[in-house]
Each structure stands twice: as C-alpha cells, then as structure tokens.
Amino acid sequence: MTARLAVRKTYKLFIGGAFVRSESGRYDRIEAGSAATGSAGSAGPAAVNVPRGSRKDVRDAVAAARSASAGWAARTAYNRGQILYRFAEALESRHADIGAPAGEVGDAIDVLVHYAGWTDKLQAVLGGINPVAAPFLSFSVPEPTGVVGLVAPDEPPLLGLVAELAPALAAGNTVVAVLSEKQALPGLDLAEVLGIADVPGGVVNLISGRRAELTQTLAGHHALNALVDASDDDALGAEVDRLAAESVTRVRHAPPTRSYTDAVADPLSRLEAVTELKTAWHPVGA
C-alpha cells in the first residue's frame, strides 16, 4: 500500500478577522526542528513557509483595527471579559497544536484569564471623583486609547505576545501585532485560535515577517494611538521613539515577559499605558 502524503499547512497573516496571504507574496522558509518552528524532534514536513508581511499589510491591518475600534470599545466591560475568557478557553482547547512549550502555553492561558477579570474593574481603579475648589463636580473616566501597535519579543514568542495583547484588549483597544521574526509560528498558531474565540474581526491583527521593516511602518502610522515595544532591541526601540514622536504616538518599552508572575506583577502599568482618562466637569449648586 502506498503511503499517503501529508497535506502541508499553509500559514497566513491574520488581518481583519481573515487569514490572508501577504500582499507581496513573499515568504521565509524555516527548517523543521529549528527553534522557530517550536517542534524540535517532530516528524513534520522538511520546512515551513512563513509569510513575510509587507508595509501594505501593516497599513491594511491598521485600517482593519481602526474600523473595529469603535465597536470593540462600545462593548460592555462584562462582555469584553467574557470574550477574553472565551479566548483563554479556545487556547486551552488547542493547547497541543501551538508550536510552543506546554508551560509557556499554560502561562499564556492564565494571563488571558487574569486580564479578563480586569475589564470591569478599570473604571473603579483608574477613574474617580476629583476634589476641586469650585462649585463643580469633576470626575475622570478611563477610556481605551484606540489602536495599539505591539512588537512581540523573540523569546518567549507566545507568552511575550499574549502578556502585552491581553491588557490592551481588556482596556478596550484593538491591536496590530508584529510577531517574533525568529519564532513566528506560535503567533501564527494563535491566529487560528482567534478564529474560533469570538473575538470580532479586526480587533486583533497578527503579521509575521522582517521585524524592522514592519515596525517602522507601524510606528510611523498616523492612525496608531499607542505602541508597546517588547522586542528588547535598543536600536529598534530608538527608531520607534523617533517615528512615534513624529506621529505623536505614545510608546511603552517593556522587557520580554518570561513568566505568568511577571505578566501580572504590575498590571496597572500595562493597562495605564493603553488607557486615557476623560475628565468631565459639571456645575453643582445654585
């Protein structure tokens, strides 16, 4: 009997809730068993083709995130928490299919659950009534900043991505993430989880490729409101600061998150970086 040939998996970018080929048609080939595949010792195909996103792919992703921003921000905090918890459930169900160590996947699941619990607590923790020496009532309310760019680290590729993705989503933002250049497959596998996780299309957009090329386009985009750089690359970070200054985009540089404990040690700093406070004044008295 002739042995059947396995159907090779075709990885694609995740933009606007759809799996799309790179606009340029380019790809990078990763040999099986390398660190980038996350499958050392497996009996899979000889090589995997990873899509190499282009600058146009980044612009398309930002446009998709911008279109989804208002709808995602308008959802109730309780509903966003439900969706983040469903995201964790979906990742748990695909645990064995993610090209990352089991411990890292487990930590990523726990991080999603943790930040799912933050969605309905943001207003109480970050908002409040401000004392003023005038006949006015002044109060502040946290709001999402809008579209958040994210540059994922090479190590750990999955947990480092999810640790920055979860707080941005919990705060009501949409995200465009540049995946690890050296280990893209865990992020691309996460895209398949998003496809079954009830996260609305355009809320999360994942792009693989050459990190410097993609990050420069992302950081300089006029429609980006904030950017979280977890690349741990000083030269790239300096370029991000320069481009973000031109487009007046807030930037948070963060070291790669290597454990669940690190991800939840100071959640407010992560949440505040992608949140804005709206202050309102209301006259009181006669």
Domain holding 145: CATH number? 3.40.605.10
Count of domains observed in the chain: 1
Higher-confidence residue: 200 or 44?
200
User: How confident is the model over 89-93, as a mean pLDDT?
Assistant: 97
Q: How many CB atoms are located within 10 Å of the residue 130 CB? A: 13
**Per-residue confidence at 39, pLDDT binned at 50, 70, 90?**
very low
Give the pair of three-digit tokens for residue 170.
């919990």
State the pLDDT at residue 44: 47
Residue 158 lies in a domain: yes
Its domain, for residue 117, covers 14-22+53-283
Residue 117 lies in a domain: yes
Give which of 266, 239, 242, 243 is closest to 254, Cα–Cα.
266
User: How confident is the model over 76-81, as a mean pLDDT?
Assistant: 97
Residue 6 lies in a domain: no
State the pLDDT at residue 159: 98
Residue 278 lies in a domain: yes
Residue 217 lies in a domain: yes
Residue 35 lies in a domain: no
Residue 45 lies in a domain: no
Given the DSSP bridges, would you call strands 174-178 and 147-151 parallel, antiparallel or unpaired? Answer: parallel
* Percent of the chain residues past pLDDT 90, beyond the cut: 78
Per DSSP (E only), the strands in 73-135 are 128-130
Exposure on the CB side of residue 9, measured as CA atoms within 13 A: 18
State the pLDDT at residue 33: 53
Lowest mean pLDDT among 97-111, 124-138, 227-241, 242-256: 124-138
Q: How many CB atoms are located within 10 Å of the residue 65 CB? A: 28
User: How confident is the model over 113-142, as a mean pLDDT?
Assistant: 89
253 has a pLDDT exceeding 60 = yes
Residue 37 lies in a domain: no
**Per-residue confidence at 274, pLDDT binned at 50, 70, 90?**
very high
User: pLDDT, tens digit, for every residue of 192-245?
Assistant: 999 999 999 999 999 999 999 999 999 999 999 999 999 999 999 999 999 999
